[in-house]
């Protein structure tokens, strides 16, 4: 095609130049033909006039001498001339008196020309055709009186001169052909010269530009047109080179962008569809084929709705535009994949929809995980509720014990008051009331009256003794009531609201956990050893940390109860870590953990206690993770104790902590 275009331009230019030359030469040839013809005929007319003037003079002389023979002889000489067709001499009546053709002598020729000649006495020149022959007719008036019986200087007749024009026409044609040959030669030479010049000046640069453009059109953007003369074609070459460089730059950018987008397209783990405006799939990524199990030819140019589970998409939005919705995709084996799907239109600059981009992320595992998390939260909630119920049960048990003590004290006071000698004091009062008027006599002279002062003194001593017992029991009552208040306060701390982040003093929090556990410790002697590094308060959830600590201390108590250690110890340690965390250790020397159970200790439902549910430690490890921390356990085996380590995030301020400073307390 490019060769045809190139040749077309070449031929068009050559034929254009050739046409211009032909038109120019043809115009010049026609003009030259007309000019030559006119010149030839003018020359013929001049020749005829000259010849006729000479004949007229000679004939007039011969006529004046009445020498007709000389006239005939003279005319016969002209009869052999190629140019002369005929010469006739007629009188006024039109009678031919002499002719180059003797046969015409005596004939009459009285035509309009003769009439006009006799009338105007002026010559006449005309071109006529007779019997297919073209000739020049020149008629000149003849003057004289001899023989023609006329007055001298009168027109006595006319001389008819007919000259052949064929020779003139042949000469004109020959001259035209010669000129045509010369002009043709000029055309050929001019054509060749023009072709060579045009090829060098126009065609060659055009071919260079065309060839370079064809290479550029085939994708070779490294091609540059060589420098051309500084004319329009040279400027065109410069502009084409600039355009090629610009296209090359844009192509490289576009190539990099396409490669980048293609790499993104390939690397996306979610399913990705690109469709036209009618929903026919034009492109999919590798993840789509892998997840659905189809080959590429089974997907391309198929309706995207064929891969949806039912007609959910059309029901949701007729325009196929969805933002983050759950849609089922159908795999090749017929199973469904639950996805989180987003469908967005692709528009041109005028806002017209060209197609759609569909991104679908498989959320099957996410849904399973979501269900597991929900179940775990339910378990944690159940664990917390069970833990709180267990603590509440212990607290209620302790409150019941305290209430029993209060009840005993009240019973003691009741019995003491019922058996008190002070109950007979009213009898003394009655006697005194009976002897109000003679009280002095009654107290000094009456046998009963004299006993009253001694009796009152004895009652006073007895009251002092009873008062001591009453005060002691009241003190016990006050102590037991305060104990109940303390139990309720601990329960309120344990039942606090979760998910409130606040500054916490870990040492105080551990003390609260100890107090709550002390309410229902088994009746054994346990040493609680505190080894606390001095810390600034950390920011965390107080309720969650307290729940973990209560469970860990409670488990340590129970491990000591069933263990065989003579001296039962719980070590509570707070230690700062180098990685901006704080570590809380709960160490006991109780029953310990066997190697086969060490990995199951945090499992949901696992317990070694007959009355246990397996909720506590399972809830603790998840609560620690909620706090962005961790909970681990270590043990050397049965009867070798165990160590629980709670690690919590903490941005420690070393300026408030002296090197190696810690606080050590021991409770026995």
Output phi, psi for 618, to 5 deg: -60, -45
Q: By percentage, how much of the chain surpasses pLDDT 70?
A: 79
Kindly indicate the confidence band of residue 146, based on its pLDDT and cuts at 50, 70 and 90. very low
Q: Do residues 601 and 614 touch, judged by C-beta distance below 8 A?
A: no
Containing 275, the helix (H) or strand (E) segment is strand 271-276
Q: By percentage, how much of the chain surpasses pLDDT 90?
A: 7
Structure confidence at residue 322 (pLDDT): 56
pLDDT tens, 178-226? 887 887 888 788 777 777 776 666 667 777 777 788 887 777 777 787 8
Q: 271 in helix, strand or coil? A: strand
Which pTM was predicted?
0.38
Contacts of 517 (CB under 8 A, 6+ apart): 550, 553, 554, 557
pLDDT at 4 over 50: no
As a whole number of angstroms, the distance between CA 580 and CA 438 comes to 92
Structure confidence at residue 434 (pLDDT): 77
Calculate mean pLDDT across residues 598-626.
75
Tell me how crowded residue 484 is: count the other CB atoms within 10 A of its CB.
15
Structure confidence at residue 147 (pLDDT): 43
Structure confidence at residue 246 (pLDDT): 84
pLDDT tens, 366-421? 878 877 777 767 766 666 666 566 656 656 656 666 677 677 777 777 777 776 76
As a whole number of angstroms, the distance between CA 154 and CA 267 comes to 127
Structure confidence at residue 495 (pLDDT): 54
> Rounded to the nearest 5 degrees, what angle is found at the Cα of 618, between the Cα atoms of 613 and 620?
120
The two structure tokens encoding residue 502:
């606040």
- CA 128 to each of CA 33, 131, 162, 283: distance values in angstroms, whole numbers, following the listed order: 21, 10, 9, 92
Q: Going by DSSP bridges, is the β-strand pair 526-533/568-576 parallel, antiparallel, or unpaired?
A: parallel
Structure confidence at residue 615 (pLDDT): 66
pLDDT at 494 over 90: no
Q: 622 in helix, strand or coil? A: helix
pLDDT tens, 618-627? 888 888 888 8
Structure confidence at residue 470 (pLDDT): 73
SS percent in the chain: helix, strand, coil, step 5: 55, 20, 25
Kindly indicate the confidence band of residue 655, based on its pLDDT and cuts at 50, 70 and 90. very low
Calculate mean pLDDT across residues 91-98.
85
Calculate mean pLDDT across residues 490-515.
76
Kindly indicate the confidence band of residue 358, based on its pLDDT and cuts at 50, 70 and 90. confident
């Amino acid at each position: 095609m490019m060769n045809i275009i190139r040749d077309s331009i070449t031929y068009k230019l050559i034929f254009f130049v050739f046409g211009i030359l032909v038109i120019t030469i043809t115009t010049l040839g026609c003009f030259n033909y007309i000019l030559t013809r006119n010149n030839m005929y003018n020359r013929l007319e001049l020749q005829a006039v000259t010849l006729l003037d000479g004949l007229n003079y000679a004939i007039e002389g011969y006529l004046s001498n009445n020498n007709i023979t000389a006239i005939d002889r003279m005319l016969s000489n002209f009869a052999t001339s190629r140019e002369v067709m005929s010469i006739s001499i007629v009188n006024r009546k039109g009678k031919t008196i002499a002719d180059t053709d003797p046969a015409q002598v005596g004939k009459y020729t009285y035509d309009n020309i003769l009439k006009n000649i006799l009338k105007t006495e002026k010559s006449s020149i005309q071109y006529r055709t007779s019997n297919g022959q073209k000739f020049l007719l020149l008629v000149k008036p003849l003057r004289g009186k001899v023989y023609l019986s006329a007055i001298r200087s009168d027109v006595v007749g006319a001389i008819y001169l007919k000259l052949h024009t064929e020779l003139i026409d042949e000469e004109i044609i020959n001259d035209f052909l010669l000129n045509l040959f010369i002009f043709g030669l000029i055309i050929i030479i001019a054509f060749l010269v023009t072709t060579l010049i045009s090829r060098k000046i126009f065609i060659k640069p055009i071919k260079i530009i065309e060839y370079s453009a064809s290479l550029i059109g085939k994708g070779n953007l490294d091609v540059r047109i060589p420098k051309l003369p500084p004319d329009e074609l040279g400027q065109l070459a410069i502009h084409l080179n600039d355009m090629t460089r610009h296209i090359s730059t844009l192509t490289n950018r576009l190539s990099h962008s396409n490669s980048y987008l293609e790499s993104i397209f390939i690397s996306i783990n979610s399913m990705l569809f690109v469709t036209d405006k009618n929903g026919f799939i034009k492109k999919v990524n590798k993840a789509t084929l892998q997840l659905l199990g189809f080959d590429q030819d089974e997907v391309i140019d198929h309706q995207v709705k064929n891969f949806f589970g039912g007609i959910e998409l059309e029901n949701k939005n007729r325009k196929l535009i969805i933002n983050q919705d759950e849609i089922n995709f159908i795999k090749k084996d017929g199973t469904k994949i639950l996805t989180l799907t987003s469908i967005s239109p692709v528009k041109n600059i005028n806002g017209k929809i060209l197609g759609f981009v569909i991104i679908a992320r498989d959320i099957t595992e996410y849904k399973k995980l979501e269900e597991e998390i929900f179940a775990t939260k339910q378990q944690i909630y159940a664990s917390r509720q069970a833990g709180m119920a267990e603590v509440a049960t212990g607290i209620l048990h302790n409150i019941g014990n305290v209430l029993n003590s209060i009840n005993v004290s009240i019973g003691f006071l009741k019995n003491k008051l019922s058996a008190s000698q002070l109950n007979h004091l009213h009898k003394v009062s009655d006697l005194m009331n009976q002897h109000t008027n003679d009280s002095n006599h009654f107290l000094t002279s009456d046998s009963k009256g004299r006993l009253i002062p001694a009796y009152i003194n004895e009652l006073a001593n007895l009251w002092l003794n009873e008062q001591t017992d009453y005060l002691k029991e009241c003190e016990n009552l006050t102590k037991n009531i305060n104990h109940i208040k303390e139990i309720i306060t601990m329960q309120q701390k344990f039942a606090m609201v979760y998910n409130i982040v606040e500054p916490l003093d870990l040492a105080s929090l551990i003390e609260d956990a100890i107090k709550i556990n002390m309410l229902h410790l088994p009746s054994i002697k346990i040493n609680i050893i505190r080894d606390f590094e001095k810390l600034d308060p950390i920011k965390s959830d107080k309720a969650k940390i307290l729940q973990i600590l209560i469970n860990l201390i409670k488990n340590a108590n129970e491990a000591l109860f069933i263990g065989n250690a003579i001296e039962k110890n719980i070590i509570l340690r707070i230690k700062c870590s180098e990685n901006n965390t704080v570590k809380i250790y709960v160490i006991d020397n109780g029953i310990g953990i066997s190697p086969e159970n060490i990995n199951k200790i945090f499992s949901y439902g696992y317990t070694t206690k007959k009355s246990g549910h397996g909720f506590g430690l399972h809830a603790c490890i998840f609560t620690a993770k909620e706090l962005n921390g961790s909970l681990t356990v270590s043990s050397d085996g049965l009867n070798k104790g165990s160590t629980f380590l709670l690690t919590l995030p903490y941005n420690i301020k070393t300026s408030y902590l002296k090197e190696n400073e810690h606080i050590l307390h021991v409770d026995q």
